[in-house]
Amino acid sequence: MPIHTPPRILMGPGPSPVSPQVIQAMSAPVLGHLDPDFVSIMDEIQSHLRKIFQTENEFTVLVAGTGMSGMEAAIVNLLDRKSIIEENTRTLVCVNGYFSGRMVDIARRAGADVIAIEKPWGSAFAPDDIAKALEHYKNISVVTIVHAETSTGVLQPMEGIAKIVHDAGALLVMDCVLSLGGVEVAVDKWGVDAAYSGSQKCLASPPGLAPLTLSARAMEKIRRRKAPVQSSYFDALELEKFWLGTKRSYHTAAAAPLYYALLEGLRRVHDEGLPARFARHRRHGGAMRAGLESLGFRFIAESNNAVPHLIAALLPVGANDFILRNDILKDFNTEVGGGLGEFSGKAWRIGAMGEGADRDRVLPLLDAIETVFIENNIAVAPGQARSAAEQFYEQHKD
Amino acid sequence: MPIHTPPRILMGPGPSPVSPQVIQAMSAPVLGHLDPDFVSIMDEIQSHLRKIFQTENEFTVLVAGTGMSGMEAAIVNLLDRKSIIEENTRTLVCVNGYFSGRMVDIARRAGADVIAIEKPWGSAFAPDDIAKALEHYKNISVVTIVHAETSTGVLQPMEGIAKIVHDAGALLVMDCVLSLGGVEVAVDKWGVDAAYSGSQKCLASPPGLAPLTLSARAMEKIRRRKAPVQSSYFDALELEKFWLGTKRSYHTAAAAPLYYALLEGLRRVHDEGLPARFARHRRHGGAMRAGLESLGFRFIAESNNAVPHLIAALLPVGANDFILRNDILKDFNTEVGGGLGEFSGKAWRIGAMGEGADRDRVLPLLDAIETVFIENNIAVAPGQARSAAEQFYEQHKD
């Protein structure tokens, strides 16, 4: 009996829909993790990732886990632990959503003295917020920030932040799980020291691999560490032996089919070209947003700092999260995401990313939401969501 | 251009060959990690794993990474860190190969006071070795041991160990990456508190998922911890929220295609039945061993404690590891493994596991080794390896 998996249309915050070619790539024969042909695949993946991260960082690899493994790897390699014999060097975490909250947890578990500065969920940080914190708290060696918050749909402007961080003698860690491949991520231009992502959002591959890039400055700090990184699995120096150099050595096994799928996804990113891909995410995300607004959703992210392709929005008054999402899943075979944290039960997270950034995904979903709204006695005029989206498409033909 | 992956015959220490059905399973549509249909798949995986681990442990889940992620998860959840304010509770690691060495590294990085007791690579531990160490060192809270060492092919007898460990007030962690699904692993009967494995050896699925089971005693210790586990990604209490109970909550994304492949692999284990599967691994591993012995290989593991399906063996005098393995890869499209640690360049690791435990895999590999030996002027009589294996098959018809 084959495994039962309905062909869900994935329009939540990830995983995003993958193309038949990406699925097909996984049927290539499994190779061993030190096979010369597998090493070539690893090299090609690294080369694509450098282009998409817009970096020359030699250390641009995959962590063998989901996006969250990338987060943990970036943080535990770079943070300093609390010390009882010398003055503490601290980790500053910019918190404005669920995933930045997770960073606090990871850093604390790893023994860091964490300073969390907070903004309301839905807002972005200004460079000045970070400058003030660095001046006030002193002795901060690592600053972490989320480029695109999957819990709120906030896109963090990155210009000007690294200079402030570097001037204070710290390193900058950036989460781009949601942004990489969907919107500009310019690691070198922005001066980011560690950036990580996940395979399953705008890279349009299945979940399970976490791209990670580290600057020369970050690698230098890791090489100078007195104590080894707390984790063998996430240790950048171990990953380096497996990913770089002419003679590769064993670190862990490799989930070969996921590598094949990601490589196929990366080749598709390359073929489309980054500017066209970003424009596509903006366009279809914008149409989705217009349709949702017409249905009475209110956006969590301020409009000037919104992720183009992931919309976190409060449900209209009277709309029951669980019933409506379940109806969409059952009647339209489509997944949308629920709210996280303070927005649990109150908001939805809807993505138009990767293969989901497509008119033929956006319009049917808007129709579906409208239908279940009407069936559940939420007052909306039939056709209004599609019409608002169509109007957006008319106005944005790029 | 499709991704170039030659159809390698994987006869090394893993990944092992996977069936077309397992590969095919990965083409099912990707589901979200909280989709009710995905939760059903997770539940079925857990139910199969409990049978194969021979356990009633409720906590029987997958860690979202390779076998090494299972090792790290098992250790970091259970160990006690060095303390400067109270008497140290220590971790005792039984070291007789590369992977038990890795356990020392993981535990030390995580801040444990590690006592390593050593046996020569190739030997197993006796319960008495552990009893003496527990008596000598005192205050040991965790004992770790490798059931089947991939670096040496040693199978560790497990009877009698847990009682000694428990009587000393400690918990027992067992690595069964190489053994699970190929040879008996009786978690409950043996009294093991934490056991982990990998998907890519005798479970005959691609790498990337690590089965992990924890006893009620282990879970109780984790729940009583004063400080949280150092890792969010590996925290058993976080995994528990995602894997168990009626309402599942987000921990990380899930590499859905790997779950499908593993489930298909587990169903195949179930259909074959454990006794038949173990017999098949014994039979084909035995034939491989007979053939290798006839070619002049000398086994690293003592014969009374040898893993049936993975043979670590010293090359005959004059045989060049690199040249010969490369010839087998190039001319016969077949992967065998090199030696690890002190056996690097001197030994091979050859598996007959999962789909590789098959006469049609064993005999051609023996022919191939013989051919490259002859081509490289190593004195062997043509046909002798196959003939030794055939003789073994004649004598073991079960």
Residue-by-residue DSSP string for A46-97? HHHHHHHHT---S-EEEESS-HHHHHHHHHHHH--B--SSSPPPEEEEEESS
Contact: A35, B8; criterion CB under 8 Å: yes
Chain B positions in Cβ-Cβ contact with residue A26 (cut-off 8 Å):
23, 26-27, 257
Closest residue to A256, CB basis, from B31, B206, B255: B206
Contact: A4, B258; criterion CB under 8 Å: no
Chain B positions in Cβ-Cβ contact with residue A211 (cut-off 8 Å):
none
Distance, first Cα to last Cα, chain B: 47
Closest CA to B326 of B348, B309, B356, B310: B348
The H or E element containing residue B314 is strand B310-314
Residue whose pair of structure tokens reads 């000598």 in the numeric block: B136
Contact: A208, B28; criterion CB under 8 Å: no
Closest CA to B75 of B189, B229, B183: B229
Residues 109-148 of B with CB under 8 A from A: 109-111
Architecture, CATH, for domain B273-395: Alpha-Beta Complex (3.90)
Contact: B12, A32; criterion CB under 8 Å: yes
Does the domain spanning B17-269 belong to CATH 3.40.640.10? yes
Q: What is the mean pLDDT of residues A170-186?
A: 98
Q: Is the model's pLDDT at A2 over the cut of 70?
A: yes
Contact: A200, B7; criterion CB under 8 Å: no
Report the distance separating Cα B63 and Cα B65, nearest Å: 6
Q: And the tokens for A259?
A: 């590598």
Chain B positions in Cβ-Cβ contact with residue A253 (cut-off 8 Å):
14-15, 66-68, 198, 200, 207-208
Report the distance separating Cα A133 and Cα A135, nearest Å: 5
Say yes or no: B233 contacts chain A, CB-CB below 8 A: yes
Give the CA radius of gyration of chain A. Answer: 21
Chain A positions in Cβ-Cβ contact with residue B206 (cut-off 8 Å):
30, 255-257
Secondary structure (H, E, C), A343-393 = HCCCEEEEECCHHHCCHHHHHHHHHHHHHHHHHCCCCCCCCHHHHHHHHHH
Say yes or no: A257 contacts chain B, CB-CB below 8 A: yes
How much is the mean pLDDT over chain B? 97
Give me the count of residues in chain A: 398
pLDDT digits (tens, 9 = 90+) for A253-279: 999 999 999 999 999 999 999 999 999
Closest residue to A207, CB basis, from B29, B250, B255: B255
pLDDT band at residue B217, thresholds of 50, 70 and 90? very high
pLDDT digits (tens, 9 = 90+) for B96-141: 999 999 999 999 999 999 999 999 999 999 999 999 999 999 899 9
CA A162 to chain centre: 20
- B201 Cβ contact list (under 8 Å, min separation 6): B13, B14, B15, B16, B67, B150, B177, B178, B180, B181, B182, B351, B353, B354
Contacts A–B by Cβ distance under 8 A: 233
Q: What is the DSSP secondary-structure string of B111-177?
A: TBEEEEEE--BTB---HHHHHHHHHHH--EEEEEEESB-TTT-BBPP-TTHHHHHHHTT-EEEEE-T
Q: Is the model's pLDDT at B398 over the cut of 70?
A: no
Considering chain A, tell me which residue range(s) the CATH 3.90.1150.10 domain(s) occupy: 273-395
Report the distance separating Cα A256 and Cα B219, nearest Å: 32
Percentage of chain B surpassing pLDDT 70? 100
Chain A positions in Cβ-Cβ contact with residue B22 (cut-off 8 Å):
none
Report the distance separating Cα A211 and Cα A67, nearest Å: 8
Closest CA to A207 of A311, A338, A354: A354
Report the distance separating Cα B180 and Cα B155, nearest Å: 12
Chain A positions in Cβ-Cβ contact with residue B251 (cut-off 8 Å):
68
Q: Is the model's pLDDT at B84 over the cut of 80?
A: no
Beta strands at A337-338 and A347-351: parallel, antiparallel or unpaired:
antiparallel
Beta strands at B90-95 and B140-146: parallel, antiparallel or unpaired:
parallel
Q: Is the model's pLDDT at B4 over the cut of 90?
A: no
Chain B positions in Cβ-Cβ contact with residue A255 (cut-off 8 Å):
66, 206-209, 255, 258
Say yes or no: B64 contacts chain A, CB-CB below 8 A: yes
A5 half-sphere exposure, CB direction, 13 A CA radius: 27
Considering chain A, tell me which residue range(s) the CATH 3.40.640.10 domain(s) occupy: 20-269
Report the distance separating Cα A125 and Cα A118, nearest Å: 9
pLDDT band at residue B278, thresholds of 50, 70 and 90? very high
Say yes or no: B351 contacts chain A, CB-CB below 8 A: no
- B159 Cβ contact list (under 8 Å, min separation 6): B127, B190
Q: And the tokens for A361?
A: 């995904």
pLDDT band at residue A84, thresholds of 50, 70 and 90? confident
Report the distance separating Cα B14 and Cα B350, nearest Å: 9
Q: What is the mean pLDDT of residues B269-276?
A: 98
Considering chain B, tell me which residue range(s) the CATH 3.40.640.10 domain(s) occupy: 17-269
Q: What is the mean pLDDT of residues B255-280?
A: 98
**Tally of CB atoms within 10 A around A207:** 28
DSSP label of A148: B
Are the beta carbons of B213 and B194 closer than 8 angstroms? Answer: yes
Say yes or no: B261 contacts chain A, CB-CB below 8 A: yes
Percentage of chain A surpassing pLDDT 70? 100
| Partners of B214 in beta bridges | B194
Q: Is the model's pLDDT at B182 over the cut of 90?
A: yes
Angstroms from B93 CA to nearest CA on chain A: 16
DSSP label of A263: H
Report the distance separating Cα A123 and Cα A292, nearest Å: 20
Are the beta carbons of B309 and B176 closer than 8 angstroms? Answer: no
Contact: B30, A10; criterion CB under 8 Å: yes
**Burial code of A11-29, b = ≥16 C-beta within 10 A, e = fewer?**
bbbbbbbbbeebbbbbebb
Angstroms from A175 CA to nearest CA on chain B: 15
Helices (H), chain A: 20-25, 36-53, 67-78, 98-109, 127-137, 161-167, 187-190, 216-224, 236-243, 256-272, 274-294, 321-332, 359-375, 384-395
Q: What is the mean pLDDT of residues B349-377?
A: 97
CA B248 to chain centre: 29
Say yes or no: A211 contacts chain B, CB-CB below 8 A: no
Q: How far is CA B124 from CA A252, A340, B289, B313, in A?
A: 24, 50, 19, 16
**Burial code of B315-351, b = ≥16 C-beta within 10 A, e = fewer?**
beeebebeebbebbbeebebbbbbbbeebeeebbbbb
Mutate to test the interface with A, among B1, B3, B114, B241 (most CBs of A within 10 A): B3
Angstroms from B69 CA to nearest CA on chain A: 6
Are the beta carbons of B113 and B82 closer than 8 angstroms? Answer: yes
ipTM rounded to 2 decimals: 0.97
Say yes or no: A255 contacts chain B, CB-CB below 8 A: yes
Q: Is the model's pLDDT at A358 over the cut of 70?
A: yes
How much is the mean pLDDT over chain A? 97
Residue type, B368: A
pLDDT at A386: 98
Chain B residue whose CA is closest to A2: B25
Mutate to test the interface with A, among B16, B69, B93, B239 (most CBs of A within 10 A): B69
Chain A positions in Cβ-Cβ contact with residue B228 (cut-off 8 Å):
108-109
- B209 Cβ contact list (under 8 Å, min separation 6): A255, B62, B63, B64, B65, B66, B198, B199, B255, B258, B259, B262
The class of domain A20-269 in CATH terms is alpha beta
The H helix count followed by the E strand count for chain B is 14, 13
Q: How far is CA B75 from CA A109, A231, B67, B193, in A?
A: 15, 11, 13, 11
Give the CA radius of gyration of chain B. Answer: 21
Closest residue to B256, CB basis, from A65, A206, A260: A206
**Tally of CB atoms within 10 A around A135:** 11
pLDDT at A398: 63
Chain B positions in Cβ-Cβ contact with residue A48 (cut-off 8 Å):
none
Are the beta carbons of A100 and A145 closer than 8 angstroms? Answer: yes
Chain A positions in Cβ-Cβ contact with residue B31 (cut-off 8 Å):
5-6, 8
